[in-house]
Amino acid sequence: MGNTTDKVKILTAFEGMPNSRALSTYTSKGGYDALKKVLKMQPAQIIEEVKQSGLRGRGGAGFPTGLKWSFVPQNLPGPRYLVCNNDEGEPGTFKDRYIAELSPHMIVEGMVIAAKAIGACKGYIYTRYEFFEEIHWLETAIKEAYQAGFLGKNIQGSGFDFDLDHYTGAGAYICGEETGLISSLEGKKGQPKLKPPFPAVSGYLGRPTVVNNTETFAAVPWIMTNGAAAYKAIGTEKSPGTKLFSIAGAIKKPGVYELPLGYSFEKLLNDDCGGMLPGRTLKACIPGGASAPVLTPEELKGLTLDYEAIAAKGSMLGSGAVMIIDDRQSMVELMKVIADFYHHESCGQCTPCREGTGWLANIMGGIWEKQGAESDVDRMWTVAKQMGGRTICALSDAAAMPTMAITKKFGDEIREYIRRGTSA
């Protein structure tokens, strides 16, 4: 599934290795050495090291990981929790499952290190319902780690205790939002929580909680083994390290690629992925999962894959799901799929999202059924604009951003469809 490149391999170090998921394979290549080192360190040192590495959250928002850990109040008595967000659901994204497939112990080790850093007593890996095999692999890894003394009481004789459990979601996209995930973990309806208070202060069961993406945790052991400076040396100044990109579409070699941040988009597409399928041309690309605004070939020229460069083009790196859209793909259909998806997944708490996602899907449904008016295109843009930045969580923005981009950049195609009843 993965594609070997000659780049630095941190997250995909075990790619192509037989029996890569086994604890013995993992430890034979230095697995859990980082943990052993960390167990002798002070929490503040660990946090500082992660801060220095410049590691940013790989779930989509790109928030600095060390900074997030440092928000947990240090002197507050009582339990603290650590959660791995493995509810990978952003359309187009299939990179976290790849880590669980290759080396689930990398996730476990990263979590124990993070637990030591924030003083968590208990952690959960929250995986989406549909990942049946990944769930099995993660549960097996947890069991192995307990048996080898990397989890549980007095880890490796250090006096540090940390328990880890696996929790399976029920399949809602919104449970991938960190506070929605916490609600779900608490046994409640999966709805994001009003912030403030933030999870670092009041999260799972009202206790300080850190939620990180699977890929974020998986990067931590390498950083602790090789040092922050080595990690920072990879990638760009503001986007250090490597990132998994899950790339799909009418290209020769789709799959998961580990690339240093700041990698050339054209190089990824044309060299690593072998270019477009014969007879297809690049019409557009969604660079960071369905919620990232679509980019045109013009905008993609010279683009590098890092947080800043993509943001400068008005889109976002997001989860690193690169969706290649070719000339045969109808943007009307794409818009309809996106609108229906967010309509279906809106939790319904906040009015602009509940009503806005429904309205967009409603208008789009009309267009699709050939009952649209050309003014619908501008109306969708206007409605989407009013949905952005006004809600508890980012789902409303996630629906609004691609809608605004598609209706603006491909509005003529949609209007043409409305006039002629077919995509050009």
Partner 1 sequence: MSDKVSFKINGESVTVPKGTTVMQAAQQMKIAIPHFCWHPGLSVAGVCRFCLVKVEGRPKLEIACNLQAVDGMEIRTDTEEVKDAHKWALEFHLINHPLDCPICDQAGECGLQNYYMSVGKYQSQMDRPKVLKPKALDVGGDLVLDTERCILCSRCVRFEKEVTKTDALGIFDRGDHAIIGTYPGKKISHNYTTNLVDICPVGAFTSKDFRFKQRVWFLEEKPSTCAGCSTGCQVDVFGKEQTGTYYRLKPREGEANGHWMCDYGRGTYRHLNQEERQRFAFVNDRGSRRDVDFNEAIAVLAKKLKHTKADDVAILVSAQYTNEEYEALFDFFVGKIGVKKVYQWREPTEKLSDFDGLLLRGDRNANTAGLLAAMKLHKVGGDKPMNQHEDVAKSGAKLVIALVPEIPTGFPSLKTHLLGLSELEFVSFWSVNGLIDDLKQARHVIPLKGFAEKRGTFTNHAGKDGHLTTPFNCPVPDARCIVETVSALAEVYSRAH
What residues make contact with partner 1 under the rule CB under 8 A?
Answer: 172, 174, 189, 194, 196, 343-352, 354-359, 362-363, 365-366, 379, 382-383, 386, 389-392
Instruction: Compare residues 7 and 354 and give the one whose CB is closer to partner 1.
Output: 354
* Comparison of 82 and 290: residue with beta carbon closer to partner 1: 290
The residue (of 120 and 172) whose beta carbon lies closer to partner 1 is 172
- Least separation, in Å, of the C-beta of 299 and partner 1? 24
Distances (CA, A) of 30 to 106, 224, 226, 299, 392: 11, 12, 11, 42, 42
- CA angle (247, 357, 309) in 5-degree steps: 40
Residue 296 corresponds to which tokens in the numbers above?
């045109």
The verdict on whether omega for the bond into residue 73 sits within 30 degrees of 0, i.e. cis, is no
Q: How far is the CB of 239 from partner 1 (least distance, A)?
A: 22
Q: Measured from the CB atom, is 28 or 386 closer to partner 1?
A: 386
Contacts of 184 by beta carbon, 8 Å cutoff, 6+ apart: 126, 169, 170, 172, 175, 190
Nearer to partner 1, 7 or 189 (CB): 189
Least distance (Å) from partner 1 to the CB of residue 201?
14
Of 142 and 350, CB closest to partner 1: 350
Structure tokens at 284: 């557009």
Peptide bond into 197 cis (omega under 30): yes
Q: What is the largest CA-CA distance in the chain?
A: 73
Nearer to partner 1, 38 or 395 (CB): 395
Q: What is the DSSP code string of 265-278?
A: HHHIIIIIS--BPT
Nearest alpha-carbon partner for 115 in 158, 68, 81: 81
Distance CA(410)–CA(359), nearest Å, equals: 20
Scored b (16 or more CB within 10 A) or e, 120-134 reads: bebbbbbbbeebeeb
Provide the minimum distance between the beta carbon of 371 and partner 1 in the complex, in angstroms, as a whole number: 9
CB 363, min distance to partner 1, A: 6
- Minimum CB–partner distance for residue 389 and partner 1 (Å): 5
CB 58 within 8 A of CB 186: no
C-alpha distances out from residue 93 to 2, 44, 112, 259, 283, Å: 14, 33, 25, 15, 20
Distance from C-alpha of 112 to C-alpha of 119, rounded to nearest angstrom: 10
User: Phi then psi for 320, rounded to 5 degrees?
Assistant: 80, 20
* Nearest residue (CB) to partner 1, 112 versus 350: 350
Least Å distance, CB 366 to partner 1, is 6
What is the rounded CA–CA span in Å between residue 236 and residue 234? 7
Smallest distance, partner 1 to C-beta of residue 330, A? 21
Q: Nearest distance from residue 79's CB to partner 1, in Å?
A: 24
The closest alpha carbon to 60, from 173, 205, 187, belongs to: 173
SS3 95: coil
Pick between residue 157 and residue 196 the one whose CB is nearest to partner 1.
196
In this structure, what token pair is assigned to residue 399? 């629906």
Nearer to partner 1, 100 or 367 (CB): 367
Output the smallest distance, CB 381 to partner 1, in A.
Answer: 12
